[in-house]
Amino acid sequence: MNKKDSNHPIIGICVSEKKSDLDRLIKRRIKHFHERAIFIKFYIEDLDFHNLRVKGSYMESENKKWKEGEFPFPDVIYLQSHVDLNIVKRIEEVIGRNVFNTFTLDKFLEAKLLAEHTVLQPHLPRTQKLENEVQLQEFLAPHKNIFLKPIYGKVSIGVVRVVSKDTGNIEVFYRQNQNIKREAFHSFKDFWYWFSPNLSQKKYLMQQGIQTMTIKERATDIRLNMNKNGKGLWEVSVLLFRIACNTSHLIPGPLAVIPIRSLTRYYFKNEEIDKMEKSIQTLGFTICEALDRSGHHMADLGLDLGLDQNGHLWIFEVNTLPHPILRVNDCSLTRPLEYAYYLASNTDHKTQPSPN
Ligand SMILES: Nc1ncnc2c1ncn2[C@@H]1O[C@H](COP(=O)(O)OP(=O)(O)O)[C@@H](O)[C@H]1O
Ligand SMILES: [Mg+2]
What are 7-58's pLDDT values in tens digits?
A: 889 999 999 877 677 888 999 999 999 888 999 999 999 999 999 999 999 9
Residues 156 and 219 in one domain: no
The percent of residues above 90 in pLDDT, for the chain, comes to 75
- 269-279 in b/e burial notation, b at 16+ Cβ within 10 A? eeeebeebbee
Ligand 1 geometric centre to CA of 13 (Å): 29
Alpha-carbon distance 11 to 75, whole Å? 6
Alpha-carbon distance 155 to 17, whole Å? 20
Residues 330 and 243 in one domain: yes
Determine whether the shortest distance from the Cβ of 306 to ligand 1 is under 6 A.
yes
Specify whether the CB–CB gap between 221 and 212 falls below 8 A.
yes
Alpha-carbon distance 146 to 177, whole Å? 21
- Pairing verdict, β 99-100 and 76-79: parallel
Q: Would you tell me how many other CB atoms lie within 10 Å of the CB of residue 44?
A: 18
In a domain, 95, yes or no: yes
State the pLDDT at residue 4.
47
Residues 249 and 320 in one domain: yes
Domain termination site, one of 102, 135, 166: 102
Of all protein residues, the one whose alpha carbon is nearest to atom 11 of ligand 1 is 249
Specify whether the CB–CB gap between 185 and 170 falls below 8 A.
yes
Instruction: Say which ligand is closest to the CA of 110.
Output: 1
State the pLDDT at residue 108.
92
What are 254-271's pLDDT values in tens digits?
A: 678 888 888 888 878 999
- 151 contacts: CB under 8 Å, gap ≥ 6: 106, 107, 108, 202, 203, 204, 205
What are 228-253's pLDDT values in tens digits?
A: 999 999 999 999 999 998 888 888 87
Determine whether the shortest distance from the Cβ of 235 to ligand 1 is under 6 A.
no
Specify whether the CB–CB gap between 309 and 210 falls below 8 A.
no
Q: Angle, nearest 10°, between helix axes 133-143 and 188-195?
A: 120
- 229-246 in b/e burial notation, b at 16+ Cβ within 10 A? bbeeebbbbbbbbbbbbb
Tabulate helix, strand, coil % of the chain (nearest 5). Answer: 30, 30, 40
Domain, as residue range, for 50? 3-102
In a domain, 354, yes or no: no
pLDDT at 86 over 90: yes
Residues 135 and 82 in one domain: no
Determine whether the shortest distance from the Cβ of 150 to ligand 1 is under 6 A.
no
Residues 266 and 138 in one domain: no
Assign 94 to helix, strand or coil: helix
Domain termination site, one of 208, 243, 265: 208
Query: Which of 242, 250, 308, 309 has the most ligand 1 atoms within 8 A of CB, as the residue to mutate?
Result: 250
pLDDT at 331 over 70: yes
Determine whether the shortest distance from the Cβ of 147 to ligand 1 is under 6 A.
yes
Residues 257 and 322 in one domain: yes
pLDDT band at 5 (very low <50, low <70, confident <90, very high): low
Q: How many CA atoms lie within 13 A of 312 on its CB side?
A: 11
State the pLDDT at residue 350.
53
Question: 110-116: long-range contacts at Cβ-Cβ below 8 A with a sequence spacing of 24 or more?
Answer: 110/317, 110/318, 111/205, 111/207, 113/294, 114/287, 114/290, 114/315, 114/318, 116/294
Lowest mean pLDDT among 102-106, 159-163, 339-343: 102-106
Determine whether the shortest distance from the Cβ of 241 to ligand 1 is under 6 A.
no
Determine whether the shortest distance from the Cβ of 207 to ligand 1 is under 6 A.
yes
Ligand 2 geometric centre to CA of 111 (Å): 13
First to last CA, the chain: 34
Ligand 1 geometric centre to CA of 205 (Å): 12
